[in-house]
Structure 1
Amino acid sequence: MKTIGLLGVHHVAIICSDYEHSKHFYTEILKLPIIHEQYRKERDSYKLDLALPDGSQIELFSFVNAPTRPSYPEAQGLRHLAFKVANITEAKQYLEQQGVDVEDIRVDEITGKQFTFFADPDDLPLELYQI
């Protein structure tokens, strides 16, 4: 019997309210390298492709007058984006040194793994999850 054959996540798309601020956050604070950046004149929109070490990507978009997220984090749709890290304590300390507010580290009661949350410039919930 054939299966769909999913191999992993290729990319996650994020629409931001302030493109330059979000670009700085993802490239300068999270240190994600730029794959490609394009201004799409017909949409008055930027699209920025960012690389993660495992080959997956984040697409950062700007759209004029995009609606805001209705609530945090329990709105329908994507609840949060989780990044794998090898050392959650060091990752948390690094983000805090960059001026990012990070929640206390917790332990997942099912897996026993450590995790914590922080937010991007648009208050999108982001997670660090220690592998």
Structure 2
Amino acid sequence: MIKNIHHTAIICSDYKKSKHFYTEVLNLEIIKETYRAERKSYKLDLALNGNYIIELFSFENTPRRISRPEACGLRHLAFSVENIESAVEELQAKAIPTEPIRIDPITGKRFTFFSDPDDLPLELYEI
């Protein structure tokens, strides 16, 4: 039945700032940008390595969502990286703070967290 995850939808509070973050900081590729005048809303389709992964939406007057501490709901979005130190250095060079690198006690893999402009938790997971 289910084949894989198609995309993750994110609603942002500041479209220009979030578009810059996801395309310039994380280097995701723009597939299509659509402005829906009737909703006063942007929809930005983003890809990573040619794979469609994120729909970034803007809406007026969106309520804040609690993301920490461990609120019920979608916990975070994780990106795999080959070298976590290099990925952390690249983010920090772009003024994006990261948490200290940790080791997953179950898998033994290294990971860290950082946030998008709306403080949504994002993870780097070393493969």
TM-score bin, normalised by smaller chain:
over 0.9
Deviations 1:75-116 (A, max 9, x none): 221110000111111000000000001001000000000000
TM-score normalised by structure 2 residue count: 0.96
Tell me if structure 1 keeps the 8 A contact 2:45–2:52.
no
* Residue in structure 2 matched with residue 17 of structure 1 by the alignment: 13
> Which amino acid is 1:13 matched to?
A
* Residue in structure 2 matched with residue 7 of structure 1 by the alignment: 3
> Aligned to 1:65, what secondary structure does the other structure show?
coil
> Aligned to 1:34, what secondary structure does the other structure show?
strand
The 1-side partners of 2:103 and 2:50 are apart by 24
The 5 A counterparts of 1:5-84 are: 6-53=2-49, 55-84=51-80
Greater shift, 54-63 or 92-101, is seen at 54-63
Tell me if structure 2 keeps the 8 A contact 1:73–1:125.
no
| Closer, same or farther: CA 54–109 of 1 in aligned 2, 3 Å | farther
Residue in structure 2 matching 1:105, options 101, 106, 112: 101
Deviations 1:37-82 (A, max 9, x none): 0000111000000001262411100010111012414222111000
> Aligned to 1:95, what secondary structure does the other structure show?
helix
Tell me if structure 2 keeps the 8 A contact 1:114–1:130.
yes
Tell me if structure 1 keeps the 8 A contact 2:7–2:53.
yes
Tell me if structure 1 keeps the 8 A contact 2:67–2:75.
no
Tell me if structure 1 keeps the 8 A contact 2:31–2:45.
yes
> Aligned to 2:5, what secondary structure does the other structure show?
coil
* Residue in structure 2 matched with residue 94 of structure 1 by the alignment: 90
Question: Tell me, which stretches of 5 or more residues in structure 1 are unaligned?
Answer: none
| Closer, same or farther: CA 73–36 of 1 in aligned 2, 3 Å | farther
